[in-house]
């Protein structure tokens, strides 16, 4: 099969480009073809927002299991000219006909595998509207120009990489449930394998329609009607309760929200990240606030990277922050939530005082921040959170002017709802499964039901596109996929940069530790050669002795997982040099447009 025209164009254009003293930008993306799409925009004079649009559309083609126009996401943008940082929130919304108990008809929650592959799980998609909003306000290129690379990839095809092949083979049957999806990824009943050539003519046609007619094509007319009809699919076991609630009006009325990032200080650095409806930024800043009271990074006191004392503190801070997340974080547009109170210094100090460096907290429960909230409510009750999907995608971009984009997008679970819109070639999300299946609102206990289903509400997310600044100037932009582990991947990255003095490449490759519930089951990495330095068995045994769970039997290596996929861009404040670092956990790719320093310092 001949080399894809688009990738050949990129290779020739970069080789032929004259050397220039100043960098023209860097993209760090989880897939090389999508990275090439962003680099193409930068090489032809576009800015970071233009490049981000091209990357997002290309990812729909080459990583369809993770993100696309049938989903949503959060784009953090730093504008060099004004120093302003904004976020385009294109998170999916619950349709107007949604009800708090729709995943628990009769009081019994639906089984997740059934509910998540039915139309009931589909939220109103926001990606097209969000990208168009960003381009109109801060981009320099037309929507059609940014769609061109994705159209070429969809029409001309690309080789299936090992990650896409593995996600098809190990999908739990999700690509086989609905015939349109099976026809693309399991032609003739045979799953696509690594090296196979994938052409998607229906998707190419859809992207051309959007390029010609703009977002209105997606949110009104025949395509919108096809989306509504597709999400009326259900699983036979669910019957009528499994049908989607979306109507044409829900699509027509969808708007992206422009938000200000949550910001906090950590050891003299400014951290800017995503506010609700994502729990990512708030939980990240809360965890950093708890840890700042301890001397992480001080090897003379035993707090170096991967030491038992350091990992123990990280685990305990995660447990406390995730206990609060389960109760207090949801869609702040739907009802006021105690954001400032969760980050109030006195509340943080009270929570941090629960952490004992020498022993494990027996029961990490949600706290009551309402004492520091403008309108206090009763203390909450502990609720059970459902596990989130590890799939999503993240990329980071910096352009020649110093504008920065950190963008996390998703269709929620791997393959979303598994429903491909007939004749249009793209998958629909199953984002509404991020809501509580059983309503938690309870006036007697004060539980606000922050993440209960409600019309127009956006489900709680964990996405955390993040920017690290020094004296108001961006130094690093990064983020990760991984469901609830996103927060901890970004936390690990931040600690590695700030406390442990790692280079971006080292910080990404280092093994990660994650806890995503108050119960505290530990997940940790170390099963691949690039994950260095490893968490030794001696350290793991010390953690076991403290009572931490999830690491397996004493004397064994319980750190064998894979967590997240961080893509980062970095700007040297002294020289202005721009770098990128990509995660080997996926097919992470850095492309630097123009000459300069190494790609991954």
Chain segment 80-109, per-residue pLDDT in tens: 999 999 999 999 999 999 999 999 998 899
470 within domain boundaries: no
What's the CA gap between 192 and 186, in Å, rounded?
6
pLDDT bracket for residue 319 (50, 70, 90): very high
pLDDT band per the 50, 70, 90 thresholds, residue 462: confident
Q: Is the dihedral of CA 236, 239, 245, 246 positive or negative?
A: positive
Evaluate whether residue 163 is within a structural domain.
yes
Task: List the single range of 244-258, 340-354, 394-408 with lowest mean pLDDT.
Answer: 340-354
pLDDT the model gives residue 375: 53
Domain span at residue 120 reads 5-19+29-74+90-258+411-434
Alpha-carbon distances, residue 481 vs 12, 47, 134, 323 (angstroms) = 32, 24, 21, 21
What separation, in Å, do the N-terminal and C-terminal C-alpha atoms of the chain show? 35
Work out the pLDDT band at 374, boundaries 50, 70, 90: low
Compute the distance between CA of residue 27 and CA of residue 589 in angstroms, rounded to an integer. 8
Is beta strand 257-259 parallel, antiparallel or unpaired with respect to 158-159? Answer: unpaired
Q: H or E stretch including 57?
A: helix 48-62
For the ranges 287-296, 370-379, 580-589, the lowest mean pLDDT is seen at 370-379
Number of structural domains (the chain) is: 1
Confidence grade of residue 2 (pLDDT, cut at 50, 70, 90):
very low
Binding site as annotated, residues for L-glutamate: 91, 434, 461-462, 483
pLDDT value of residue 330? 58
Please state whether beta strands 466-470 and 262-266 pair in parallel, antiparallel, or not at all (unpaired). Answer: unpaired
pLDDT at residue 601, as a whole number: 33
Residue 598, pLDDT above cutoff 50: no
State whether residue 545 is helix, strand or coil. helix
| Average pLDDT score over residue span 477-505 | 95
What pLDDT score does 92 carry? 95
Residue 251 lies in a domain: yes
d(CA 569, CA 600): 9
95: in domain? yes
- 493 within domain boundaries: no
Domain-embedded: residue 47:
yes
For residue range 160-216, list pLDDT tens digits in order: 999 999 999 999 889 999 999 999 999 999 999 999 999 999 999 999 999 999 999
- From 127, 392, 414, 433, the catalytic residue: 392
pLDDT at 335: 54
Question: If we measure between CA atoms, which residue out of 372, 328, 329, 379 comes closest to residue 350?
Answer: 372
Could you give the count of Cα atoms lying within 13 Å of 379 in the half-sphere of its Cβ? 5
Give me 11's structure tokens: 């290779």
Give me 5's structure tokens. 């025209």
* CA distance linking residue 403 with residue 157, whole number of Å: 31
Question: Any idea of the CA torsion for 125, 127, 128, 133, to the nearest 10 degrees?
Answer: 120
What integer is the mean pLDDT of 228-237?
88
Tally of residues, the chain: 601
| Cβ neighbours of residue 183 closer than 8 Å, sequence gap 6 or more | none
Chain position carrying tokens 């639906």: 110
Q: Where are the alpha helices (DSSP H) in 140-200?
A: 143-156, 162-169, 179-185
What is the mean predicted confidence (pLDDT) over 131-155?
98
Low-confidence winner among 17-21, 312-316, 540-544, 579-583 (lowest mean pLDDT): 17-21
Considering only 111-115, 221-225, 493-497, which range has the smallest mean pLDDT?
A: 111-115
**Residue 18 pLDDT > 50:** no
Pairing of strands 473-479, 158-159: unpaired
- Residue 449 has what pLDDT? 80
Candidate from 148-157, 416-425, 524-533 with smallest mean pLDDT: 524-533
Bridge partners of 337? none
* Per-residue pLDDT at 441: 83
pLDDT over 50 (residue 223): yes
Q: What residue numbers does the annotated binding site cover?
A: 91, 434, 461-462, 483
How many angstroms separate the CA atoms of 582 and 575, rounded? Answer: 22
Would you state the pLDDT for residue 376? 41
Dist CA 124 CA 127 (whole Å): 10
Neighbouring residues of 391: CB distance < 8 A, sequence distance ≥ 6 = 65, 66, 167, 410, 412, 413, 414, 481, 483
Q: How far is CA 171 from CA 62, 158, 176, in A?
A: 17, 21, 9
From residue 424, give the alpha-carbon distance in Å to each of 1, 57, 275.
Answer: 25, 14, 33
φ, ψ at 28 (rounded to 5°) = -130, 115
CB atoms within 10 A of CB 84: 11
At residue 276, the pLDDT reads 83
Distance from C-alpha of 144 to C-alpha of 215, rounded to nearest angstrom: 11
Measured distance CA(403)–CA(422) in Å, rounded: 38
Q: Report the alpha-carbon distance of residue 41 to residue 216 in Å, rounded.
A: 24
Return the closest-CA partner of residue 245 out of 235, 234, 256.
Answer: 234
The set of residues, in sequence order, having a beta carbon less than 8 Å from that of 473 and lying 6+ positions away, is 571, 573
% residues pLDDT > 70 (the chain): 91
pLDDT higher than 60, residue 599? no
3-class SS shares of the chain: helix, strand, coil, % to 5? 35, 15, 50
**pLDDT at 228 > cutoff 90:** yes
- Answer whether residue 478 is part of any domain: no
* Catalytic residue status for 392: yes
- Confidence check: pLDDT of 3 > 70: no
SS3 call for 211? helix
């Amino acid at each position: 099969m001949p080399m894809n025209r688009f990738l050949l164009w990129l290779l020739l254009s970069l080789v032929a480009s004259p050397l220039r003293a100043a960098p023209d930008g860097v993209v760090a993306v989880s897939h090389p073809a999508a990275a090439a799409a962003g680099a193409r925009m930068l090489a032809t004079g576009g800015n970071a927002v233009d490049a981000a649009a091209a990357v997002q559309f290309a990812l729909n083609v080459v990583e369809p299991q993770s993100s696309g126009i049938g989903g949503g996401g959060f784009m953090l943008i730093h504008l060099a000219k004004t120093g302003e940082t904004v976020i385009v929130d294109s998170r999916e919304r619950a349709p107007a006909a949604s009800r708090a108990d729709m995943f628990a008809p009769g009081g019994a929650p639906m089984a997740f595998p059934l509910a998540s592959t039915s139309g009931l799980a589909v939220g109103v998609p926001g990606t097209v509207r969000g990208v168009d909003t960003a381009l109109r306000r801060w981009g320099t290129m037309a929507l059609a120009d940014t769609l061109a690379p994705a159209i070429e990839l969809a029409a001309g095809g690309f080789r299936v990489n090992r990650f896409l092949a593995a996600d098809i083979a190990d999908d739990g049957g999700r690509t086989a449930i609905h015939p349109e999806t099976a026809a693309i990824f399991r032609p003739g009943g045979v799953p696509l394998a690594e090296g196979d050539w994938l052409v998607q003519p229906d998707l190419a046609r859809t992207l051309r329609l959007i390029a010609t007619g703009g977002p209105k094509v997606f949110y009104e007319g025949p395509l919108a009607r096809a989306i509504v009809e597709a999400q009326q699919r259900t699983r036979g076991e669910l019957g009528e309760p499994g049908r989607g609630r979306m109507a044409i009006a829900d699509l027509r009325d969808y708007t992206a929200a422009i938000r200000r990032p949550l910001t906090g200080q950590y050891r003299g650095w400014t951290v800017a990240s995503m506010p609700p409806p994502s729990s990512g930024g708030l939980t990240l800043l809360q965890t950093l606030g708890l840890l700042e009271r301890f001397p992480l990074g001080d090897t003379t006191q035993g707090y170096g990277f991967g030491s038992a004392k350091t990992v123990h503190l990280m685990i305990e801070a995660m447990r406390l922050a995730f206990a609060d997340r389960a109760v207090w974080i949801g869609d702040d547009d739907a009802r006021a939530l105690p954001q400032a109170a969760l980050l109030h210094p006195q509340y943080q100090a009270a929570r941090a005082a629960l952490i004992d460096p020498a022993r494990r907290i027996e029961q990490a429960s949600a706290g009551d921040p309402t004492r520091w909230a403008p309108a206090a409510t009763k203390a909450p009750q502990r609720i059970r959170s459902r596990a989130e999907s590890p799939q999503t995608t993240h990329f980071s971009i910096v352009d020649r002017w110093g504008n920065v984009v950190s963008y996390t997008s998703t269709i929620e679970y791997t393959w979303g709802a598994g429903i491909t819109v007939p004749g249009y070639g793209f998958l629909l999300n199953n984002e509404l499964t991020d809501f509580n299946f059983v309503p938690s609102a309870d006036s007697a206990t004060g539980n606000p039901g922050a993440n209960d289903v409600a019309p127009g509400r956006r489900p709680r997310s964990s996405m955390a596109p993040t920017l690290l600044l020094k004296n108001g100037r961006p130094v690093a932009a990064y983020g990760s996929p991984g469901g609830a582990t996103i927060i901890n991947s970004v936390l690990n990255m931040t600690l590695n940069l700030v406390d442990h003095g790692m280079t971006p490449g080292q910080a990404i490759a280092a093994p990660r530790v994650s806890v995503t519930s108050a119960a505290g089951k530990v997940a940790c990495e170390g099963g691949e050669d690039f994950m260095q330095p490893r968490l030794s068995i001696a350290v793991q045994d010390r953690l076991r002795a403290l009572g931490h769970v999830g690491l397996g039997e004493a004397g064994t290596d319980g750190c064998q997982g894979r967590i997240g996929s961080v893509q980062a861009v970095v700007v040297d404040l002294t020289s202005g040099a721009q770098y990128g670092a990509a995660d080997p956990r996926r097919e992470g790719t850095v492309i630097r447009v123009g000459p300069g320093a190494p790609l991954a310092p």
